[in-house]
Chains A and B, each alone.
Chain A
Amino acid sequence: MVLLQLKGRGIVEGVAMGEILISKNTLSFLGGIDKNTGIVIDPKSDLYKKKISEKILYITESVGSTVGAYIIYTIGRKGVGPRAIICYKADSMLVAGCAISNIPLIDGIRYEKIPIFSKYCAVNGKEGRLLLADNLNELVQTESLDIKS
Protein backbone atom coordinates (compact mmCIF):
# COMPACT_ATOMS: atom_id res chain seq x y z
CA MET A 1 0.00 0.00 0.00
CA VAL A 2 1.30 3.42 -0.94
CA LEU A 3 -0.28 6.71 0.03
CA LEU A 4 0.64 10.33 -0.70
CA GLN A 5 -0.92 13.65 0.19
CA LEU A 6 -0.58 16.73 -2.05
CA LYS A 7 -1.60 20.30 -1.41
CA GLY A 8 -2.82 22.67 -4.10
CA ARG A 9 -5.21 25.60 -4.13
CA GLY A 10 -8.84 24.80 -3.38
CA ILE A 11 -11.10 26.73 -5.74
CA VAL A 12 -14.46 24.96 -5.73
CA GLU A 13 -15.44 23.34 -2.45
CA GLY A 14 -16.64 19.79 -2.00
CA VAL A 15 -15.27 16.34 -1.29
CA ALA A 16 -15.01 13.44 -3.70
CA MET A 17 -13.31 10.09 -4.01
CA GLY A 18 -12.76 7.68 -6.84
CA GLU A 19 -10.50 6.37 -9.53
CA ILE A 20 -8.12 9.00 -10.91
CA LEU A 21 -7.80 9.59 -14.64
CA ILE A 22 -4.61 11.45 -15.52
CA SER A 23 -3.82 13.44 -18.64
CA LYS A 24 -0.54 15.19 -19.21
CA ASN A 25 -2.20 17.41 -21.80
CA THR A 26 -4.65 20.27 -21.79
CA LEU A 27 -8.32 19.49 -22.35
CA SER A 28 -10.97 21.43 -24.19
CA PHE A 29 -14.44 20.62 -22.94
CA LEU A 30 -15.88 22.21 -26.07
CA GLY A 31 -15.40 19.64 -28.79
CA GLY A 32 -13.16 17.41 -26.67
CA ILE A 33 -15.83 15.48 -24.74
CA ASP A 34 -18.94 13.64 -25.89
CA LYS A 35 -21.58 15.36 -23.78
CA ASN A 36 -23.90 12.35 -23.73
CA THR A 37 -21.38 9.73 -22.65
CA GLY A 38 -18.51 11.62 -20.98
CA ILE A 39 -16.04 9.98 -23.37
CA VAL A 40 -13.03 11.99 -24.56
CA ILE A 41 -13.39 12.39 -28.32
CA ASP A 42 -10.39 14.60 -29.04
CA PRO A 43 -7.92 12.31 -30.85
CA LYS A 44 -5.04 14.55 -29.78
CA SER A 45 -5.73 13.93 -26.10
CA ASP A 46 -3.94 11.12 -24.28
CA LEU A 47 -7.34 10.31 -22.76
CA TYR A 48 -8.83 9.67 -26.21
CA LYS A 49 -11.75 7.19 -25.99
CA LYS A 50 -11.55 7.12 -22.19
CA LYS A 51 -14.54 7.96 -20.06
CA ILE A 52 -14.23 10.79 -17.53
CA SER A 53 -17.57 9.94 -15.86
CA GLU A 54 -17.38 9.32 -12.12
CA LYS A 55 -13.62 9.81 -12.21
CA ILE A 56 -11.33 12.25 -10.47
CA LEU A 57 -9.97 13.99 -13.54
CA TYR A 58 -6.45 15.40 -13.69
CA ILE A 59 -5.54 17.75 -16.55
CA THR A 60 -2.66 20.19 -16.81
CA GLU A 61 -4.75 23.09 -18.13
CA SER A 62 -8.20 23.77 -19.49
CA VAL A 63 -8.71 25.67 -22.70
CA GLY A 64 -11.78 27.15 -24.35
CA SER A 65 -14.58 29.64 -23.99
CA THR A 66 -17.64 30.01 -21.78
CA VAL A 67 -19.36 27.29 -23.76
CA GLY A 68 -16.92 24.88 -22.13
CA ALA A 69 -18.44 25.82 -18.76
CA TYR A 70 -21.90 24.95 -20.10
CA ILE A 71 -20.60 21.56 -21.24
CA ILE A 72 -19.18 20.80 -17.78
CA TYR A 73 -22.63 21.69 -16.41
CA THR A 74 -24.44 19.53 -18.96
CA ILE A 75 -22.32 16.41 -18.42
CA GLY A 76 -22.74 16.89 -14.67
CA ARG A 77 -26.52 17.09 -14.95
CA LYS A 78 -26.59 14.06 -17.23
CA GLY A 79 -24.61 12.06 -14.70
CA VAL A 80 -21.61 11.53 -16.97
CA GLY A 81 -19.35 14.23 -15.53
CA PRO A 82 -16.25 13.80 -13.36
CA ARG A 83 -16.49 13.70 -9.55
CA ALA A 84 -13.73 16.31 -9.16
CA ILE A 85 -11.17 18.09 -11.31
CA ILE A 86 -7.54 18.68 -10.42
CA CYS A 87 -5.25 20.72 -12.62
CA TYR A 88 -2.07 22.74 -12.69
CA LYS A 89 -3.50 25.87 -14.27
CA ALA A 90 -7.21 26.64 -14.15
CA ASP A 91 -8.83 29.39 -16.20
CA SER A 92 -11.99 31.37 -15.47
CA MET A 93 -14.01 29.04 -17.74
CA LEU A 94 -13.05 25.94 -15.76
CA VAL A 95 -13.58 27.78 -12.47
CA ALA A 96 -17.08 28.96 -13.45
CA GLY A 97 -17.92 25.58 -15.04
CA CYS A 98 -17.04 23.64 -11.89
CA ALA A 99 -18.74 26.24 -9.68
CA ILE A 100 -22.10 26.01 -11.49
CA SER A 101 -21.85 22.21 -11.59
CA ASN A 102 -20.78 21.70 -7.96
CA ILE A 103 -17.65 19.83 -9.03
CA PRO A 104 -14.75 20.26 -6.55
CA LEU A 105 -11.77 21.93 -8.22
CA ILE A 106 -8.15 22.19 -7.10
CA ASP A 107 -5.41 23.90 -9.07
CA GLY A 108 -1.67 24.27 -8.61
CA ILE A 109 -0.80 20.56 -8.87
CA ARG A 110 2.01 19.84 -11.30
CA TYR A 111 1.77 16.70 -13.42
CA GLU A 112 5.23 15.57 -12.25
CA LYS A 113 4.07 15.67 -8.62
CA ILE A 114 1.56 12.90 -9.15
CA PRO A 115 3.23 9.58 -8.33
CA ILE A 116 3.10 6.80 -10.85
CA PHE A 117 1.34 4.42 -8.44
CA SER A 118 -1.74 6.67 -8.24
CA LYS A 119 -4.92 4.78 -9.00
CA TYR A 120 -7.38 6.28 -6.58
CA CYS A 121 -7.79 9.76 -5.21
CA ALA A 122 -9.69 11.57 -2.50
CA VAL A 123 -10.23 15.32 -2.89
CA ASN A 124 -11.04 18.10 -0.45
CA GLY A 125 -11.87 21.13 -2.58
CA LYS A 126 -12.17 23.51 0.36
CA GLU A 127 -8.67 22.87 1.65
CA GLY A 128 -7.09 22.10 -1.69
CA ARG A 129 -5.86 18.74 -0.44
CA LEU A 130 -5.76 15.46 -2.27
CA LEU A 131 -4.79 12.01 -1.21
CA LEU A 132 -3.46 9.53 -3.75
CA ALA A 133 -3.32 5.77 -3.30
CA ASP A 134 -2.91 2.54 -5.20
CA ASN A 135 -5.56 0.84 -3.14
CA LEU A 136 -9.15 1.93 -2.63
CA ASN A 137 -9.71 0.31 0.78
CA GLU A 138 -6.74 2.04 2.29
CA LEU A 139 -7.89 5.33 0.83
CA VAL A 140 -11.40 4.90 2.23
CA GLN A 141 -10.02 4.30 5.71
CA THR A 142 -7.57 7.20 5.61
CA GLU A 143 -10.04 9.51 3.91
CA SER A 144 -12.64 8.99 6.63
CA LEU A 145 -10.04 10.10 9.16
CA ASP A 146 -8.43 12.83 7.22
CA ILE A 147 -10.01 14.40 4.15
CA LYS A 148 -13.54 14.64 5.48
CA SER A 149 -12.50 15.87 8.90
Chain B
Amino acid sequence: MTYSKEVAERIFKALSKFYDQSERIPISSAHLSGVSYENIGEEGLYFINEILKEGKVAVYTTVNPMGADIYDNIFGINDKFLKRQREIMDAFLRLGVTDSFTCAPFDYFQIPIKNSHVAWAESSAAVYANSFLGIFTNKESALSALASAILGETINSGLHSQINRRTVMKFDLKDVRNEVEAGIYAYYISKLVDRPFSVKMRNEMDSIMKKSFCGALGAVGNVSYFKTKAYLTNEYSIKKEDIKKEFNELCTANSGEIIILGCPHWNHNEIENFVRKMGQRNLRKDCLIACNKRAQNELITRFGKETLNKRRIFLFKNACPIFSPLLKEKGIKSIITDSVKAAHYYRLRNIRVNLKPIQKIIKEETE
Protein backbone atom coordinates (compact mmCIF):
# COMPACT_ATOMS: atom_id res chain seq x y z
CA MET B 1 0.00 0.00 0.00
CA THR B 2 1.39 3.44 -0.90
CA TYR B 3 1.94 6.01 1.84
CA SER B 4 -0.86 8.21 0.49
CA LYS B 5 -3.32 5.28 0.58
CA GLU B 6 -2.22 4.41 4.07
CA VAL B 7 -2.83 8.01 5.24
CA ALA B 8 -6.18 8.10 3.40
CA GLU B 9 -7.22 4.89 5.17
CA ARG B 10 -6.24 6.38 8.51
CA ILE B 11 -8.39 9.46 7.83
CA PHE B 12 -11.37 7.28 6.87
CA LYS B 13 -10.97 4.97 9.84
CA ALA B 14 -10.97 7.91 12.26
CA LEU B 15 -13.84 9.73 10.53
CA SER B 16 -15.90 6.51 10.47
CA LYS B 17 -15.58 6.29 14.24
CA PHE B 18 -16.27 9.98 14.63
CA TYR B 19 -19.46 9.84 12.53
CA ASP B 20 -20.30 6.38 13.84
CA GLN B 21 -20.74 5.07 10.31
CA SER B 22 -18.39 2.53 8.79
CA GLU B 23 -20.17 1.81 5.51
CA ARG B 24 -18.42 3.23 2.45
CA ILE B 25 -19.81 3.90 -1.00
CA PRO B 26 -18.01 4.36 -4.33
CA ILE B 27 -17.80 7.90 -5.76
CA SER B 28 -17.77 9.03 -9.36
CA SER B 29 -15.69 12.15 -8.74
CA ALA B 30 -13.91 14.22 -6.12
CA HIS B 31 -13.22 17.93 -5.80
CA LEU B 32 -10.37 19.05 -3.55
CA SER B 33 -9.96 22.24 -1.52
CA GLY B 34 -6.93 23.56 0.35
CA VAL B 35 -4.99 24.52 -2.77
CA SER B 36 -4.12 28.17 -2.17
CA TYR B 37 -0.78 28.73 -0.44
CA GLU B 38 -2.39 31.72 1.29
CA ASN B 39 -4.80 29.27 2.88
CA ILE B 40 -2.70 26.19 3.73
CA GLY B 41 0.68 27.87 4.30
CA GLU B 42 3.99 26.11 4.90
CA GLU B 43 2.34 23.42 7.02
CA GLY B 44 -0.08 22.41 4.27
CA LEU B 45 2.71 22.40 1.70
CA TYR B 46 4.82 20.24 4.02
CA PHE B 47 1.98 17.71 4.32
CA ILE B 48 1.11 17.75 0.62
CA ASN B 49 4.73 17.27 -0.46
CA GLU B 50 5.00 14.20 1.76
CA ILE B 51 1.66 12.57 1.13
CA LEU B 52 1.37 13.29 -2.56
CA LYS B 53 4.83 11.99 -3.41
CA GLU B 54 3.76 8.71 -4.92
CA GLY B 55 -0.03 8.62 -4.65
CA LYS B 56 -2.61 8.68 -7.43
CA VAL B 57 -6.27 9.63 -7.39
CA ALA B 58 -8.62 6.72 -8.02
CA VAL B 59 -11.42 8.79 -9.61
CA TYR B 60 -11.88 11.87 -11.78
CA THR B 61 -10.77 14.73 -9.53
CA THR B 62 -10.94 18.48 -9.91
CA VAL B 63 -9.31 21.04 -7.59
CA ASN B 64 -10.00 24.48 -6.14
CA PRO B 65 -8.37 27.73 -7.32
CA MET B 66 -4.88 28.84 -6.36
CA GLY B 67 -3.86 32.00 -4.51
CA ALA B 68 -2.42 33.75 -7.56
CA ASP B 69 -2.71 33.79 -11.34
CA ILE B 70 0.58 32.01 -11.93
CA TYR B 71 0.26 32.30 -15.71
CA ASP B 72 0.00 36.06 -15.90
CA ASN B 73 1.16 37.79 -12.74
CA ILE B 74 0.06 41.28 -13.75
CA PHE B 75 -0.82 42.10 -10.14
CA GLY B 76 2.77 41.50 -9.05
CA ILE B 77 2.25 38.94 -6.30
CA ASN B 78 5.63 38.20 -4.67
CA ASP B 79 7.97 35.56 -6.11
CA LYS B 80 8.16 33.45 -2.95
CA PHE B 81 4.38 33.05 -2.97
CA LEU B 82 4.35 32.14 -6.67
CA LYS B 83 7.11 29.58 -6.18
CA ARG B 84 5.27 27.91 -3.27
CA GLN B 85 1.96 28.02 -5.18
CA ARG B 86 3.57 26.32 -8.18
CA GLU B 87 4.94 23.62 -5.88
CA ILE B 88 1.43 22.95 -4.58
CA MET B 89 0.05 22.92 -8.12
CA ASP B 90 2.72 20.45 -9.27
CA ALA B 91 2.08 18.17 -6.28
CA PHE B 92 -1.65 18.02 -7.09
CA LEU B 93 -1.01 17.46 -10.81
CA ARG B 94 1.40 14.62 -9.96
CA LEU B 95 -1.43 13.09 -7.97
CA GLY B 96 -3.38 12.90 -11.23
CA VAL B 97 -6.01 15.59 -10.70
CA THR B 98 -7.47 17.34 -13.75
CA ASP B 99 -5.80 20.69 -14.48
CA SER B 100 -8.88 22.57 -13.28
CA PHE B 101 -8.17 24.94 -10.34
CA THR B 102 -11.70 26.28 -10.14
CA CYS B 103 -14.46 26.58 -7.56
CA ALA B 104 -17.07 25.96 -10.31
CA PRO B 105 -15.95 22.53 -11.61
CA PHE B 106 -19.34 22.01 -13.25
CA ASP B 107 -18.60 24.69 -15.88
CA TYR B 108 -15.75 23.24 -17.93
CA PHE B 109 -15.22 19.81 -16.49
CA GLN B 110 -16.99 16.46 -16.49
CA ILE B 111 -20.30 16.66 -14.68
CA PRO B 112 -20.89 13.49 -12.68
CA ILE B 113 -23.80 11.28 -13.73
CA LYS B 114 -27.10 12.25 -12.12
CA ASN B 115 -27.83 10.48 -8.84
CA SER B 116 -24.20 9.44 -8.43
CA HIS B 117 -22.28 10.00 -5.21
CA VAL B 118 -19.26 12.31 -5.14
CA ALA B 119 -16.94 13.88 -2.55
CA TRP B 120 -16.71 17.61 -3.18
CA ALA B 121 -14.94 19.86 -0.73
CA GLU B 122 -15.60 23.36 -2.06
CA SER B 123 -18.68 24.45 -0.15
CA SER B 124 -20.37 26.43 -2.95
CA ALA B 125 -19.77 23.60 -5.44
CA ALA B 126 -21.13 21.00 -2.99
CA VAL B 127 -24.35 23.01 -2.58
CA TYR B 128 -24.60 23.45 -6.37
CA ALA B 129 -23.99 19.74 -6.99
CA ASN B 130 -26.68 18.63 -4.55
CA SER B 131 -29.26 21.24 -5.50
CA PHE B 132 -28.84 21.85 -9.24
CA LEU B 133 -26.97 18.83 -10.63
CA GLY B 134 -28.89 16.08 -8.85
CA ILE B 135 -25.77 14.45 -7.40
CA PHE B 136 -25.06 13.50 -3.80
CA THR B 137 -22.27 14.96 -1.71
CA ASN B 138 -21.49 16.18 1.77
CA LYS B 139 -19.57 19.40 2.22
CA GLU B 140 -16.23 17.65 2.58
CA SER B 141 -13.16 19.02 4.31
CA ALA B 142 -9.85 19.27 2.43
CA LEU B 143 -8.54 16.09 4.06
CA SER B 144 -11.68 13.97 3.78
CA ALA B 145 -12.04 14.86 0.08
CA LEU B 146 -8.37 14.06 -0.49
CA ALA B 147 -8.80 10.67 1.20
CA SER B 148 -11.91 10.05 -0.92
CA ALA B 149 -10.10 10.95 -4.15
CA ILE B 150 -7.26 8.54 -3.32
CA LEU B 151 -9.56 5.68 -2.27
CA GLY B 152 -12.40 6.31 -4.72
CA GLU B 153 -15.04 6.12 -2.02
CA THR B 154 -16.67 8.09 0.74
CA ILE B 155 -18.33 7.38 4.08
CA ASN B 156 -22.05 6.77 3.64
CA SER B 157 -23.27 9.50 5.96
CA GLY B 158 -25.12 12.83 5.88
CA LEU B 159 -26.46 13.89 2.50
CA HIS B 160 -25.54 10.58 0.84
CA SER B 161 -28.57 9.12 2.52
CA GLN B 162 -32.08 10.03 1.25
CA ILE B 163 -33.39 10.21 4.77
CA ASN B 164 -31.14 13.17 5.52
CA ARG B 165 -32.25 15.01 2.37
CA ARG B 166 -35.80 15.54 3.54
CA THR B 167 -36.80 19.16 3.74
CA VAL B 168 -38.93 20.68 6.46
CA MET B 169 -39.04 24.38 5.67
CA LYS B 170 -39.96 26.27 2.55
CA PHE B 171 -38.87 29.79 1.68
CA ASP B 172 -40.48 32.07 -0.84
CA LEU B 173 -37.86 33.71 -3.05
CA LYS B 174 -40.28 35.62 -5.28
CA ASP B 175 -38.69 38.96 -4.37
CA VAL B 176 -35.23 37.91 -5.50
CA ARG B 177 -34.31 40.02 -8.52
CA ASN B 178 -30.55 39.83 -8.88
CA GLU B 179 -27.44 37.95 -7.73
CA VAL B 180 -26.88 40.13 -4.66
CA GLU B 181 -30.42 39.49 -3.42
CA ALA B 182 -30.04 35.76 -4.16
CA GLY B 183 -26.90 35.72 -2.04
CA ILE B 184 -28.42 37.74 0.81
CA TYR B 185 -31.48 35.45 0.97
CA ALA B 186 -29.20 32.41 1.11
CA TYR B 187 -27.06 34.07 3.76
CA TYR B 188 -30.11 34.80 5.85
CA ILE B 189 -31.67 31.35 5.35
CA SER B 190 -28.42 29.61 6.32
CA LYS B 191 -28.75 31.09 9.79
CA LEU B 192 -32.30 29.75 10.19
CA VAL B 193 -31.91 26.17 9.05
CA ASP B 194 -30.04 23.15 10.29
CA ARG B 195 -31.32 20.74 7.65
CA PRO B 196 -32.23 20.83 3.93
CA PHE B 197 -35.00 23.21 2.87
CA SER B 198 -37.12 24.07 -0.18
CA VAL B 199 -37.37 27.30 -2.10
CA LYS B 200 -40.14 28.70 -4.24
CA MET B 201 -39.14 31.01 -7.05
CA ARG B 202 -41.19 33.11 -9.40
CA ASN B 203 -38.72 32.88 -12.26
CA GLU B 204 -35.80 30.59 -12.67
CA MET B 205 -32.54 32.10 -11.44
CA ASP B 206 -29.90 32.92 -14.05
CA SER B 207 -26.53 31.18 -13.80
CA ILE B 208 -24.84 33.91 -11.73
CA MET B 209 -27.77 34.06 -9.31
CA LYS B 210 -27.55 30.28 -8.84
CA LYS B 211 -23.83 30.49 -8.13
CA SER B 212 -24.35 33.42 -5.80
CA PHE B 213 -27.07 31.62 -3.83
CA CYS B 214 -24.94 28.46 -3.48
CA GLY B 215 -21.80 30.43 -2.62
CA ALA B 216 -23.49 32.36 0.18
CA LEU B 217 -25.24 29.30 1.57
CA GLY B 218 -21.99 27.32 1.57
CA ALA B 219 -19.96 30.09 3.20
CA VAL B 220 -21.99 30.08 6.40
CA GLY B 221 -23.94 27.35 8.12
CA ASN B 222 -23.90 23.64 7.54
CA VAL B 223 -26.74 22.97 5.12
CA SER B 224 -25.55 21.95 1.68
CA TYR B 225 -28.79 21.02 -0.04
CA PHE B 226 -32.05 22.70 -0.99
CA LYS B 227 -34.89 21.68 -3.28
CA THR B 228 -36.05 24.00 -6.01
CA LYS B 229 -39.37 22.23 -6.42
CA ALA B 230 -41.34 22.77 -3.27
CA TYR B 231 -44.41 20.84 -2.27
CA LEU B 232 -44.32 21.62 1.39
CA THR B 233 -46.88 23.79 3.04
CA ASN B 234 -44.82 24.87 5.99
CA GLU B 235 -43.80 28.17 4.43
CA TYR B 236 -41.59 30.67 6.20
CA SER B 237 -42.07 34.22 5.08
CA ILE B 238 -38.91 36.26 5.07
CA LYS B 239 -39.35 39.85 6.12
CA LYS B 240 -37.87 42.47 3.86
CA GLU B 241 -36.40 44.34 6.82
CA ASP B 242 -34.46 41.22 7.86
CA ILE B 243 -32.97 41.00 4.37
CA LYS B 244 -32.12 44.70 4.52
CA LYS B 245 -30.40 44.16 7.86
CA GLU B 246 -28.27 41.32 6.47
CA PHE B 247 -27.37 43.49 3.48
CA ASN B 248 -26.33 46.39 5.70
CA GLU B 249 -24.09 44.10 7.73
CA LEU B 250 -22.24 42.98 4.62
CA CYS B 251 -22.25 46.18 2.59
CA THR B 252 -19.89 48.38 4.58
CA ALA B 253 -18.72 50.93 1.99
CA ASN B 254 -20.22 53.30 -0.56
CA SER B 255 -17.60 52.46 -3.12
CA GLY B 256 -14.28 50.64 -3.38
CA GLU B 257 -10.79 50.86 -4.83
CA ILE B 258 -11.12 47.83 -7.11
CA ILE B 259 -13.97 45.70 -8.52
CA ILE B 260 -13.77 41.97 -7.82
CA LEU B 261 -16.14 39.63 -9.69
CA GLY B 262 -16.30 35.91 -10.35
CA CYS B 263 -17.01 34.53 -6.88
CA PRO B 264 -17.76 31.67 -7.49
CA HIS B 265 -15.79 31.56 -10.78
CA TRP B 266 -17.57 32.96 -13.82
CA ASN B 267 -17.50 31.12 -17.14
CA HIS B 268 -16.90 32.83 -20.50
CA ASN B 269 -20.61 33.28 -21.18
CA GLU B 270 -21.09 35.10 -17.89
CA ILE B 271 -18.05 37.30 -18.53
CA GLU B 272 -19.20 37.97 -22.08
CA ASN B 273 -22.63 39.01 -20.84
CA PHE B 274 -21.02 41.43 -18.41
CA VAL B 275 -18.86 42.96 -21.15
CA ARG B 276 -21.83 43.24 -23.53
CA LYS B 277 -23.92 44.92 -20.84
CA MET B 278 -21.19 47.55 -20.50
CA GLY B 279 -21.86 48.56 -24.12
CA GLN B 280 -19.40 51.24 -25.22
CA ARG B 281 -18.60 52.32 -21.67
CA ASN B 282 -15.30 51.60 -19.94
CA LEU B 283 -14.76 50.85 -16.27
CA ARG B 284 -13.40 53.65 -14.13
CA LYS B 285 -11.52 51.22 -11.91
CA ASP B 286 -9.62 48.01 -12.38
CA CYS B 287 -11.98 45.06 -12.46
CA LEU B 288 -10.65 41.65 -11.66
CA ILE B 289 -12.74 38.65 -12.73
CA ALA B 290 -11.85 35.29 -11.19
CA CYS B 291 -12.33 32.48 -13.70
CA ASN B 292 -10.91 29.33 -15.14
CA LYS B 293 -8.08 29.43 -17.68
CA ARG B 294 -10.46 27.93 -20.24
CA ALA B 295 -12.72 30.97 -20.00
CA GLN B 296 -9.86 33.16 -21.20
CA ASN B 297 -9.26 31.01 -24.26
CA GLU B 298 -12.91 31.42 -25.26
CA LEU B 299 -12.92 35.15 -24.54
CA ILE B 300 -9.74 35.92 -26.46
CA THR B 301 -11.34 34.61 -29.63
CA ARG B 302 -14.31 36.94 -29.05
CA PHE B 303 -12.69 40.11 -27.76
CA GLY B 304 -8.89 39.84 -27.73
CA LYS B 305 -6.95 40.20 -24.50
CA GLU B 306 -5.95 43.83 -25.10
CA THR B 307 -9.54 44.89 -25.61
CA LEU B 308 -10.54 43.52 -22.23
CA ASN B 309 -7.50 45.03 -20.50
CA LYS B 310 -8.11 48.41 -22.16
CA ARG B 311 -11.59 48.40 -20.67
CA ARG B 312 -9.85 47.64 -17.35
CA ILE B 313 -11.04 44.04 -17.13
CA PHE B 314 -8.36 41.62 -15.95
CA LEU B 315 -8.89 37.89 -15.67
CA PHE B 316 -7.60 36.22 -12.51
CA LYS B 317 -7.16 32.75 -13.93
CA ASN B 318 -7.34 29.50 -11.98
CA ALA B 319 -7.14 31.64 -8.86
CA CYS B 320 -9.23 33.07 -6.04
CA PRO B 321 -8.71 36.71 -5.04
CA ILE B 322 -10.06 36.11 -1.53
CA PHE B 323 -7.51 33.49 -0.54
CA SER B 324 -4.69 35.45 -2.11
CA PRO B 325 -2.10 37.95 -0.81
CA LEU B 326 -3.30 40.30 -3.58
CA LEU B 327 -5.15 42.96 -1.57
CA LYS B 328 -2.64 42.92 1.29
CA GLU B 329 0.28 43.42 -1.08
CA LYS B 330 -1.43 46.24 -2.92
CA GLY B 331 -2.60 47.88 0.31
CA ILE B 332 -6.23 47.74 -0.86
CA LYS B 333 -8.70 48.34 1.97
CA SER B 334 -12.04 48.47 0.14
CA ILE B 335 -13.54 46.58 -2.78
CA ILE B 336 -16.69 46.45 -4.93
CA THR B 337 -18.26 43.05 -5.55
CA ASP B 338 -21.58 41.43 -6.41
CA SER B 339 -20.78 38.32 -4.35
CA VAL B 340 -22.19 37.80 -0.87
CA LYS B 341 -19.71 35.00 -0.29
CA ALA B 342 -16.82 37.32 -1.14
CA ALA B 343 -18.32 40.05 1.08
CA HIS B 344 -18.54 37.58 3.97
CA TYR B 345 -14.87 36.58 3.71
CA TYR B 346 -13.61 40.11 3.07
CA ARG B 347 -15.42 41.28 6.19
CA LEU B 348 -13.51 38.67 8.19
CA ARG B 349 -10.32 40.14 6.73
CA ASN B 350 -11.25 43.72 7.62
CA ILE B 351 -11.70 44.77 3.99
CA ARG B 352 -14.61 47.19 3.48
CA VAL B 353 -17.09 46.04 0.85
CA ASN B 354 -19.43 47.85 -1.50
CA LEU B 355 -21.89 45.10 -2.36
CA LYS B 356 -24.00 45.71 -5.48
CA PRO B 357 -25.31 43.78 -8.50
CA ILE B 358 -23.64 43.87 -11.93
CA GLN B 359 -26.29 46.22 -13.25
CA LYS B 360 -25.48 48.80 -10.59
CA ILE B 361 -21.73 48.27 -10.97
CA ILE B 362 -22.05 49.10 -14.68
CA LYS B 363 -24.21 52.12 -13.88
CA GLU B 364 -21.99 53.56 -11.17
CA GLU B 365 -18.48 52.45 -12.07
CA THR B 366 -18.28 53.03 -15.84
CA GLU B 367 -17.89 56.12 -17.99
Q: Is the CB of A77 within 8 A of B46?
A: yes
* A55, chain B: closest CB distance, angstroms: 20
Q: Is the CB of A99 within 8 A of B47?
A: no
Q: Is the CB of A92 within 8 A of B34?
A: no
Q: Is the CB of B44 within 8 A of A92?
A: no
Chain A residues in 8 Å Cβ range of B13: 13, 99
- Whether A11 touches B17, Cβ cut-off 8 Å, given contacts A66-B142, A96-B11, is yes
Closest-by-CB residue of B relative to A71 is: B43
Closest-by-CB residue of B relative to A75 is: B43
Instruction: Indicate with 1 or 0, residue by residue over A86-126, a CB within 8 angstroms of chain B CB atoms.
Output: 00001011011011101001010000000000000000000
Please give the number of chain B residues whose Cβ is less than 8 angstroms from any Cβ of chain A in the complex. Answer: 24
Chain A residues in 8 Å Cβ range of B142: 66, 69
Q: Does A10 contact B (CB under 8 A)?
A: yes
A73 to B48, CA, bound (A): 11
Q: Is the CB of A35 within 8 A of B43?
A: yes
Q: Is the CB of A100 within 8 A of B141?
A: no
* A89, chain B: closest CB distance, angstroms: 11
- Whether A73 touches B34, Cβ cut-off 8 Å, given contacts A96-B143, A99-B10, A99-B11, is no
* B357, chain A: closest CB distance, angstroms: 30
Closest-by-CB residue of B relative to A73 is: B47
Q: Is the CB of A90 within 8 A of B47?
A: no
Q: Does B300 contact A (CB under 8 A)?
A: no
Of B41, B42, B50, B144, the residue contacting A96 (CB under 8 A) is B144
Of A10, A77, A100, A107, the residue contacting B7 (CB under 8 A) is A100
Of A9, A70, A93, A105, the residue contacting B47 (CB under 8 A) is A70
Interface of A is mostly: helix
- Whether A70 touches B44, Cβ cut-off 8 Å, given contacts A92-B144, A102-B10, is yes
Q: Does A67 contact B (CB under 8 A)?
A: yes
A62 to B79, CA, bound (A): 34
Instruction: Indicate with 1 or 0, residue by residue over B31-60, a CB within 8 angstroms of chain A CB atoms.
Output: 001100001111110110011000000000
A13 to B47, CA, bound (A): 21
A29 to B194, CA, bound (A): 27
Of B17, B34, B41, B50, the residue contacting A9 (CB under 8 A) is B17
11 contacts between A and B (CB under 8 A): A11-B17, A66-B44, A73-B43, A92-B18, A96-B14, A96-B141, A98-B14, A99-B7, A99-B14, A100-B7, A100-B143
- Inter-chain pairs besides A92-B144, A96-B11, 16 sampled, C-beta below 8 Å: A66-B34, A66-B44, A66-B142, A67-B34, A67-B43, A70-B40, A70-B43, A74-B46, A74-B47, A90-B18, A96-B15, A96-B143, A99-B15, A100-B10, A102-B10, A105-B14
